[in-house]
Each structure stands twice: as C-alpha cells, then as structure tokens.
Structure 1
C-alpha cells in the first residue's frame, strides 16, 4: 500500500514538474537576439523626437505636474493605480545608475517591442509594450537616440506595490501567451497610405487603445471592442468611445478630429480635459500630416 502511494505521489510530482517545465518553455521571456538590432545605423534624432511625442513618454515618465523643459526630465516616480496594485513608473533618463544610461539599443528595443527588461525579466503591461510591439525598428532606434539627448536624473522610483499573485513575474508569461502579439488590431480593406499611417500611430506608438478599449478580468483587451470606450483608469467616469458610431465623436469630421488634436478644442468649442489634455498637447507636436492620418484612421475604424 505504501509503495503504491509512493509511486502515485512520484507520478503526481513528475507530472507537475513536466507541466511547469512546459508552461515555462511556452511563456518564458523571448527577447530578440542582439543581431536583430544590428545594422540600423545612426538614429534620426529629429524623427526620434516626433516618436517621443507620439508615444506620450513625458506624460508618465516626467515628474507629476512638470511643465516646460522639466517635462523632458524623465525621472519617473508617477504612481499608476490599477485593479492589480500600484505601479511606479521608472526613471528612463540617460542616468547611468537610476535610468537607462547603461542600457543598449537591444535592451531598450526588447523592452519596447517584447516586454522584456534588461535583466531578461518579463515587464508588466502597465508599460504599453503591447502597443509598442507594432513600432518599426527604425522608430525604436530613433527614439532611443533622442532619449539619450535628454537631461539625466538620479531619482529612483520605488518598487511596484502588487499583492500576490500579481507580484509573480513568471505569471506574466501566461498573460503574454493569451494577449500579446504584434498584429494589427483591426483589418482595414483598401486602406490608403494616409489611413495606414494613422493606424500605425494609433495602434503603435500612440497606444490609444490602452485607455479607449475595455478589458477583461485579466487586463486583456475585449475582442471586438477596439476603441469603444472603457472605465477611466484614474477612477472617475469613462474614457469615451472614439469609433465612428460613438456619441462622443461619431459626428465629427476628419477635419474636426485633426483640429482637436492640434488645438484641444472640439467643434462645439469645448476643450480637452483630464488626461486627454496632456495627450492632445503631445500630439500637437506632430506634423499636421500625422494628425490628419490619425483622423482618417478614426473615421474608418469599425464601430460596435
């Protein structure tokens, strides 16, 4: 009897170990090899600055309520509250100890496009690599070049405050297995170059869906609900539906949307508020052609 129980227990332990090994193999961090980032050449700093504004880097990584040149000091520290705990935004200034000064392009690129940190660990998707995965390698290289021109900060952000089991990074591999990919969020037939550019900006560096798309209990986007509005991550109200069928902007023309992104004023002369005010100020740095491209995409994205 004892021998039978021992064999059963050993089989159970063996099965558990095999299952864990299979889970880890499927969900382990998967950075690009160093060779992936070779041969990109010198970064285009001017384009890198445009990518910086499109990505809204300063909105999370600058000190809270920073203005003027202080918005370019990416010292981190902002606390992002979520149903999974509080995330503290890191310092991404060129400081060698507190920031990214000791990182390589490969380190940065793998964080941006694969959600893998310098130490080979999974990153939490509070950092929107789920959107940044759609960025071109050139834009990542150019952004990296621009970030290295910015002021250094020695501020060290506190660690995340996450309860069990969300503090187990290994589980993030399962989240990536379910939700992470670099494919277009929507498939648009007969899209012209302007719409394709708008799709790239909205779905990639602009990461608009991170706030405007509802999520399931595990934090993944709900299928078929792209840009249809979601609870405000700051806790009050809702982030609006911005598809063509929405009450908020469905009646706006492409020109209305482009003007709003430039000036912050709606067709009714209301103004952008809340976190959108800062998003609009970032997008206002982009060339008019990019704002027009975003508007063109938003006018053809499917409504639900």
Structure 2
C-alpha cells in the first residue's frame, strides 16, 4: 500500500509538472519582433480596423482623432466582469513596455510579466494578424495622448481568476487557422483578414460553448450578447441578405437598406470601418457574401434580438 501511494504521488507530481509545462505562456521571441520597424501613419488604419478605441477609451469619453486610451470600460459576462486597461503611452499604460511586449500581448495574449491574458481581449483573432501590421499599430499607439489613470482589476470569481488555467483554454480553443479556407479571390482573402483577424467580428457574432470557446462550425451565425441582454445578429448570407453594395454603404455611413441606422456597439464599429478605404470595405462585403449561410438559432426568451450590436 505504501508503495502504491508513493507511486501515485510520483505520478501526480509528474502530471502536475506536465500540466504546468503545457499551460505555460508562449510568447514570440523578442528579438524576432524587435526587428520590425513600425510605421505610425500606416498604423492609424490598423488601429481603426482593430477597433482599439471602442474598448479602451474611458466610458463616456468623446470621440476624437487622437483618443485617450485610459481604459475603464466594463464588460459583463457569465465568467465575471472584465475591465479594459489603460493602453495609452504612459507609465500607467504601455509607455514603459517594449514594442515587442505590446506585440506579444496582441499576437499571443501574453503580458510582459509572462501571464496569460483573458480572451475578453481578442488576441484569439489578432493572432492571425501580420506582425508588421501589429508593429505599425504599436507605432501609432505611441503617438496618442498619455493617461495617468490606473488600470482597474477584473472582477472574476474563482476558478476563472486562476490565470494559469488560461493556458489550458488556449490548448483547447486557440484558433490560429482561418475559419473560412478554400479557394478565395484576393479580394475575399483581404476581407477575411479584416473580418477574422483585425476586425475580430467572430468574437461577437459567433456562438460560444460552455467554456467560452467559439463554435466555429456556426461561424458568424449570431450569438447572445455576453452581457445577457440582446442578441448579436447572424451576418452570414442566411441572416444578412443585403447586397455587397448595401454592406459597403452601411460600413461607411451606418445606414441600412431598410432606411434605418445602426446603433449600440455597431455604431462604434462603423466609426472604425468608415476610416478604411473603399477597397477594404468592399473586401469585407465580398468575404461576408462568401461565408457559408447558416440559419440563426432562436434567441432565448427575454433576451431580445438587437441588430445594432457588433
């Protein structure tokens, strides 16, 4: 019995060691990222496409050409409340980080201290971004006004507050491949890059499993809002039956072909897509029309169905 207990104890230690190794953060080599030179002017477009200001400006802050990314917005989910951090170029933000550290946060979901970031920060989409684009994004961030606001902690209960467990989540649900593969035109491929990577549209428009992983088999078919109120619409051709021209017009002006205007979080998305080129908006529309049509799941009773959400 003593030998059996000793063997079990040894196996448990080995298993714990393997689990610790498997769940370790995996940043890209800093020297590899440091070799990239960012272009701040080009990074302005990447900043808009990635929607950084939508989450990281302080609540009720005015929209400006040079937003103050002080953080503080709260995002309520079934796993807890996540609070957007200060990512302005100040000591309280990312001012003291190296460019490579910011890039690893975006591309790998890893902090400068070597901790996993929660997937409420959409690194699981940004990880498909071109590292040069992210270098340009960082260069643009460095030009924005600093804020001395302290980042507030997330309000996440046990066991979700165990950061190391996010390494297991990454093993299960990290998506580094394109969802829509196959034979796409160059325009559709550009649209895929903007939708699946920079624009991270799937984070809101795709349903999730019980652990918060995206159900990519139902890609862009609509999902309950994480806050528990409202429903983000189906934007596959089965749900969004607009023409490409209609989609392009909405992404530029916010007006729909039904003589309505988008609101809520989608209005912030339009504020970003309006800064893209006509070609990029057309590419997004071409990609959305190429996505396989998937019928929407009916919203749960009492949740409503808002077509104004991102």
Asked if the contact 1:58/1:71 (under 8 Å) is kept, the reply is no
The answer to whether the 8 A contact 1:228-1:241 is kept is: yes
Asked if the contact 1:211–1:239 (Cα under 8 Å) also holds between the matched residues in 2, the reply is yes
CA distance in 2, matches of 1:77, 1:287: 30
Alpha-carbon contact 2:34-2:99 (below 8 Å) kept: no
1:52 aligns with 2:47: yes
Conserved in 2, the CA contact under 8 Å of 1:60 and 1:89? Answer: yes
Aligned pair partner of 1:139 in 120, 133, 137: 133
Distance 2:216 2:94 in 1: 35
Residue 301 of structure 2: aligned partner: none
Give RMSD over aligned pairs. Answer: 1.2
Alignment partner, residue 216 of structure 2: 223
Q: Which 4+ stretches in 1 moved above 3 angstroms? A: none
Partner of residue 88, structure 1: 83
Provide the rounded CA distance (Å) in 2 between the counterparts of 1:68 and 1:238: 26
Task: Decide which of 228, 239, 249 is 2:232's aligned counterpart.
Answer: 239
Change (3 A) 1:229 1:117: same
**1:158-186 CA distances to partner (integer Å, 9 max, x unpaired)?**
21111110000110011000011321011
> For the Cα contact (< 8 Å) 2:66–2:144, is it kept in 1?
no
Partner of 2:20: 24
- Tell me the distance in 1 between the aligned counterparts of 2:167 and 2:63: 39
Matched, 1:297 2:298: no
What's the CA shift for 1:197? 0.5
State the shift of 1:202 in Å: 0.2
In the alignment, structure 1 residue 39 sits paired with structure 2 residue 35: yes
Separation (CA, whole Å) in 2 of partners of 1:233 and 1:165: 19
One of 221, 244, 268 as aligned partner of 2:258: 268
TM-score by length of 1: 0.94
| Preserved CA contact (<8 Å) 1:63 1:71 | no
How far residue 35 of structure 1 moved from its aligned partner, in angstroms, is 2.2
1:223 to 1:285, Cα distance in 2 relative to 1, 3 A: closer
SS at match of 1:299: helix
Tell me, yes or no, if structure 1 residue 63 matches structure 2 residue 58: yes
SS at match of 2:118: coil
1:180 aligns with 2:174: yes
Q: State the partner residue of 1:285.
A: 275
Using the alignment, how far apart are the partners of 1:46 and 1:300 within structure 2? Answer: 31
Residue correspondence of structure 1 range 91-240 to structure 2 within 5 A: 91-96=86-91, 98-189=92-183, 191-240=184-233
Check whether the contact 2:188–2:283 (CA below 8 A) recurs between aligned residues: yes
For the 8 Å contact 1:134–1:182, the answer to whether it is kept is yes
Following the alignment from structure 1 to structure 2, what is the Cα–Cα distance between the partners of residues 219 and 213? 11
